Amino acid sequence: MKRLLTLGMLALLVVCATAQTDTLRGHWLCKSAGVHLYLDLGAETLEVPHYEFLGKVNGYMRGNISDTWFLTTFRYEKDGTWTLRFSNDSGADTQEVRLQRAGGGALRYKAIGTNYVRRAVRKKWVYLPAEMDFEPV
């Protein structure tokens, strides 16, 4: 009886753990900034173009920005959002962001602190907005 109860409790824990997490998988675009976001928070399945030697990753950002930004860590929050940490391809800068689902499969990106993701405009660094909306592609 104890064994059956233990197995039942383990099964309940697995069901509860999977019910409380959510995964993001897909390709999104912020049209106003020209930034592409690729995510698979369920598994490391994404190969970053020109960085195949690094192996597969959970996510990255690229497009009209200075570097490719790799997803280094992420966690699902109890409020239904994700906290993600990105590092640029040189490892010199990191950016922590909060992602939240919006209607129609869109995502709302909000930088935690200063947004270090930038691009060159007329030979000067211009930082992207701290909040961006990403639409599914």
Residue 1, Cα to own-chain centre: how many angstroms? 44
Residue 2 has pLDDT above 60, yes or no: no
What average pLDDT does this structure show over 58-69?
97
Residue 16 has pLDDT above 90, yes or no: no
Residue 113, both tokens? 């602190």
pLDDT category at 12 given cuts 50, 70, 90 is very low
CA distance 134 to 105: 9
